Structure 1
Amino acid sequence: MLRTFLKNRAALLLLGVAACIAGCVPAGSPQRVPAPVTPAVPMPSQVSVATPRALPGKRRDQPPADLLNAVQALGSGFPGQVGIAVRDVTEGWIVGYNADRLLPQQSVSKLWVAIAVMDAVDRSTLKLSDIVTVRRSDLTVFHQPIRPLVGIDGYRTTIAALLQGAMTRSDNTCNDVLLWKIGGPPAIRRMLMQKGIAGVGFGPGERLLQAKTAGLDWKPEWAGGWGFLQARSKMSVEARSRALNRYLAAPYDGASANGVTLGLARLQRGEVLSNSSTLHLLTLMAASKTGPLRLKSGLRSGWTFAHKTGTGQDLGTLSTGYNDVGLLKSPDGHSYAVAVMIASTRRPIPARMQFMGNVTRALIRALE
Structure 2
Amino acid sequence: MRDFWMNRAAFLALIVSVGVAGCATTPPPPRQTAPVMRARPRPIPLSVATPAPLPGRHRNQPPADILNALQALGSKFQGRVGIAVRDVTDGWVVGYNADALLPQQSVSKLWVAIAVMDAVDRGALSLSDVVTVRRSDLTVFHQPIRPLVGANGYRTTIAALLQGAMTRSDNTCNDVLLWKVGGPTAIRRLLAQKGIKGVGFGPGERILQAKTAGLEWKPEWAGGWGFLQARAKMSFEARNKALTRYLAAPYDGASANGITLGLALLQRGELLSNRSTVHLLTLMAASKTGPLRLKSGLRPGWTFAHKTGTGQDLGNLSTGYNDVGLLKAPDGHAYAVAVMIGSTRRPIPARMQFMGNVTRALIRALD
State the TM-score, normalizing by the size of structure 1: 0.94
Label 1:263 to 1:365 Cα distance change in 2 as closer, same or farther (>3 A).
same
Residues 20 and 311 in structure 1, CA contact (< 8 A), matched pair in contact too: no
Q: Which residue of 2 aligns with 1:201?
A: 200
Residues 52 and 269 in structure 1, CA contact (< 8 A), matched pair in contact too: no
Q: Displacement of 1:9 after TM fit? A: 7.0
Paired AA for residue 37 in structure 1: R
Q: Which residue of 1 aligns with 2:43?
A: 42
Alignment of 1:240-259 (within 5 A): 240-259=239-258
Q: Which residue of 1 aligns with 2:3?
A: none
Q: Which residue of 2 aligns with 1:14?
A: 12
Q: Would you say 1:150 and 2:121 are equivalent positions?
A: no
Tell which deviates more after alignment, 13-22 or 95-104.
13-22
Label 1:284 to 1:26 Cα distance change in 2 as closer, same or farther (>3 A).
farther
Paired AA for residue 200 in structure 1: V
Tell which deviates more after alignment, 60-69 or 253-262.
60-69
Q: Which residue of 2 aligns with 1:3?
A: none
Residues 24 and 172 in structure 1, CA contact (< 8 A), matched pair in contact too: no
Q: Would you say 1:353 and 2:352 are equivalent positions?
A: yes
Say which SS state the counterpart of residue 306 (structure 1) adopts.
strand
Paired AA for residue 89 in structure 2: T
Paired AA for residue 171 in structure 1: D
Label 1:165 to 1:38 Cα distance change in 2 as closer, same or farther (>3 A).
same
Cα distance in 2 for partners of 1:87, 1:326 equals: 11
1:14-51 per-position Cα deviation (integer Å, ceiling 9, x unaligned):
356566421344677425334322425735xx111133
Say which SS state the counterpart of residue 279 (structure 2) adopts.
helix
Cα distance in 2 for partners of 1:221, 1:20 equals: 22
Question: How many residues of Structure 1 are paired with residues of Structure 2 in the alignment?
Answer: 359
Q: Which residue of 2 aligns with 1:126?
A: 125
Label 1:36 to 1:337 Cα distance change in 2 as closer, same or farther (>3 A).
same
Alignment of 1:104-253 (within 5 A): 104-253=103-252
Q: Would you say 1:328 and 2:340 are equivalent positions?
A: no
Cα distance in 1 for partners of 2:42, 2:348 equals: 35
Tell which deviates more after alignment, 190-199 or 50-59.
50-59
Which aligned runs of 4 or more in structure 1 are off by greater than 6 angstroms? Answer: none
RMSD: 1.7
Q: Displacement of 1:61 after TM fit? A: 2.1
Label 1:304 to 1:15 Cα distance change in 2 as closer, same or farther (>3 A).
farther
Label 1:251 to 1:76 Cα distance change in 2 as closer, same or farther (>3 A).
same
Cα distance in 2 for partners of 1:206, 1:85 equals: 26
Paired AA for residue 97 in structure 2: N
Cα distance in 1 for partners of 2:339, 2:154 equals: 36
Residues 144 and 174 in structure 1, CA contact (< 8 A), matched pair in contact too: yes
Q: Which residue of 2 aligns with 1:4?
A: none
Say which SS state the counterpart of residue 207 (structure 1) adopts.
helix
Residues 213 and 231 in structure 2, CA contact (< 8 A), matched pair in contact too: yes
Q: Displacement of 1:190 after TM fit? A: 0.6
Residues 83 and 256 in structure 2, CA contact (< 8 A), matched pair in contact too: yes
Percent of counterpart pairs with the same letter? 80
Say which SS state the counterpart of residue 153 (structure 1) adopts.
coil
Q: Which residue of 2 aligns with 1:280?
A: 279
Q: Which runs of 5+ in 2 are unaligned?
A: 1-5
Label 1:12 to 1:148 Cα distance change in 2 as closer, same or farther (>3 A).
closer
State the TM-score, normalizing by the size of structure 2: 0.94
Cα distance in 2 for partners of 1:270, 1:24 equals: 33
Paired AA for residue 76 in structure 1: S
Cα distance in 2 for partners of 1:291, 1:27 equals: 19
Alignment of 1:262-281 (within 5 A): 262-281=261-280
Say which SS state the counterpart of residue 187 (structure 2) adopts.
helix
Q: Which residue of 1 aligns with 2:34?
A: 33
Q: Displacement of 1:250 after TM fit? A: 0.2
Cα distance in 2 for partners of 1:282, 1:26 equals: 31
Residues 19 and 27 in structure 1, CA contact (< 8 A), matched pair in contact too: no
Q: Displacement of 1:53 after TM fit? A: 4.1
Alignment of 1:310-325 (within 5 A): 310-325=309-324
Cα distance in 2 for partners of 1:110, 1:34 equals: 20
Residues 50 and 334 in structure 2, CA contact (< 8 A), matched pair in contact too: no
Cα distance in 1 for partners of 2:243, 2:186 equals: 27
Say which SS state the counterpart of residue 227 (structure 2) adopts.
helix
Cα distance in 2 for partners of 1:274, 1:263 equals: 15
Q: Which runs of 5+ in 1 are unaligned?
A: 1-7
Cα distance in 2 for partners of 1:158, 1:135 equals: 13
1:243-273 per-position Cα deviation (integer Å, ceiling 9, x unaligned):
0000000000000000000000000000000
1:135-186 per-position Cα deviation (integer Å, ceiling 9, x unaligned):
0000000000000000000000000000000000000000000000110000
Paired AA for residue 43 in structure 2: P
Cα distance in 2 for partners of 1:112, 1:141 equals: 19
Paired AA for residue 327 in structure 1: L
Paired AA for residue 117 in structure 2: M
Label 1:302 to 1:52 Cα distance change in 2 as closer, same or farther (>3 A).
closer
Residues 24 and 312 in structure 1, CA contact (< 8 A), matched pair in contact too: no
Cα distance in 2 for partners of 1:362, 1:342 equals: 18
Cα distance in 2 for partners of 1:187, 1:93 equals: 30
Label 1:207 to 1:358 Cα distance change in 2 as closer, same or farther (>3 A).
same
Say which SS state the counterpart of residue 281 (structure 1) adopts.
helix
Say which SS state the counterpart of residue 51 (structure 1) adopts.
coil
Residues 51 and 332 in structure 2, CA contact (< 8 A), matched pair in contact too: no
